[in-house]
Structure 1
Amino acid sequence: MSDYPSGHTAAPVLSRKLADETRAAFQPFGTYIPVHVPDGRPDDFVAYIPDGVADCLDHKASSAPAATGEIERAVFVPDRIPCDAPCFRLTDNKTFVYWNGWAARLIQSFAGPDNVELRLVWSTGATAESHPRPMGF
């Protein structure tokens, strides 16, 4: 059983163990709701629904959203990113959840690097390379 079973960009699903490990850091910024899994116990998994919506996308520097809403190349305005929150959604595209690096690394530390792939969407680092399809599978 995976601790991070869903790669769905709109509804991150966590195992109960992973939810318990991240609760202190994540709960002030969102809600955990139970997820029913056939043949599973009612408390095996939860979805994390972030409260944060940020107007931080640089529309001129970013690529236009695809029909699915996916933004292939997202560029953010650094001082508008809610860095204290584990993740956020964009004001004009509330479908996709963007994880801040510290939170993504925390999830990966508990779930294991073989279970969670970190994909860089954007960085202020001059040498950092964004993943070519950070939201795609």
Structure 2
Amino acid sequence: MTSDATHTPRAVYRPLPALRDIRTLSLDHSLVRLKRWQITGKPTERPTGFGAAWGGDPDWPTAGFPSGYPGAPILTPPLVAALGADRLAAAGELLPVRVEGAEPGAYQLLLVEPVVDCLDARHSSKPKRVTGHVKQAVFRPDAVPAELPAFRIPQYPTAVYWNGWAVERLGEVVGAGLEARLVWSEDPALVPHRDPMWL
């Protein structure tokens, strides 16, 4: 990974909280509206905010990258600062997440708007009929929007893919509390996760 968005080889990841004893945030019923908007793109379905609650043992530490759901990245102010407000704005809109006991603005969901047709369908797994889930995604290097921190694809619109430079910046803040699953890379020496979007 690299902090330079123009650097090659390109790589795409799915970041999530490290799989260990750690508390994570789960969205409430607002997740349903998010999925509907991701699938339909209708302005009337567009969310304006979310509710979430912590899961896990109350004695566990809270995750620095708090959401494990692949289509609903929740960011803290340090993560927003690390990624840069301008670059995040190019990828979508930060919307408030209400969490009991948390200060307003402590958590925001990045509503990723760009849907980019960059999947190499010939070399990728066939999307699941109902969910669109793509087990192994291969991207066309020249079509990957490397300047964006994150993007979606039309075949699997409820999932968010992250460029390597952005995941590196997340890791600089979260450290060992972040798992970065490699989805795809131009570098043949790097082996992708067998099913990176699986929960």
TM-score (norm 2): 0.64
Q: Does the CA contact (< 8 Å) of 2:124 and 2:138 recur in 1? A: yes
Q: Which runs of 5+ in 2 are unaligned?
A: 1-61
**Residue 33 of structure 1 pairs with residue 95 of structure 2:** yes
Query: What is residue 119 of structure 2 aligned with on the other side?
Result: 57
Query: Is 1:17 aligned to residue 17 of structure 2?
Result: no
Distance 2:152 2:195 in 1: 18
Residue type at the aligned position of 2:88: F
Q: How does 1:1-137 map to 2 (within 5 A)?
A: 1-24=62-85, 25-66=87-128, 67-112=130-175, 114-137=176-199
| SS of the residue 1:27 aligns to | helix
Q: Determine the C-alpha separation between the residues in 2 that align with 1:43 and 1:126.
A: 41
1:52: Cα distance to partner?
A: 1.6
- Give the letter for the 2:168 counterpart: R
Rg larger in structure: 2
Q: Report the Cα distance in structure 2 between the residues aligned to 1:51 and 1:7, rounded to whole angstroms.
A: 19
Q: Which has the higher contact order (CA 8 A, sep 6+)?
A: 2
- Runs in 1 of length 4+ with deviation above 3 angstroms? none
- Percent identity of paired positions between Structure 1 and Structure 2: 37
Question: Alpha-carbon deviation of 1:40?
Answer: 1.8
Secondary structure of 2:63 counterpart: coil
Amino acid at match of 1:87: A
Counterparts of 1:68 and 1:92, CA distance in 2: 9
**Alpha-carbon spacing, 1:56–1:93, altered in 2? closer, same or farther (3 Å):** same
1:59-107 CA-partner distances (Å, limit 9, x unpaired): 1111112343221110111111100001110023211101001101111
Gaps of at least 5 residues in structure 1 are none
Between Structure 1 and Structure 2, which shows a larger proportion of strand residues? 2
Q: Is the 8 A contact 2:77 2:107 kept in 1?
A: yes
Contact kept, 8 Å, 1:3 with 1:17, in 2: the verdict is: no
TM-score (norm 1): 0.91
Note the alpha carbon deviations across 1:24-65, whole angstroms, 9 max, x for none: 332332211110012222221000122221100111111112
Count of equivalent residues: 136
1:125 CA drift (Å): 1.0
- Give distance in 2, aligned partners of 1:20 and 1:33: 15
Q: Amino acid of the residue matched to residue 3 of structure 1?
A: G
Alignment match, 2:11: none
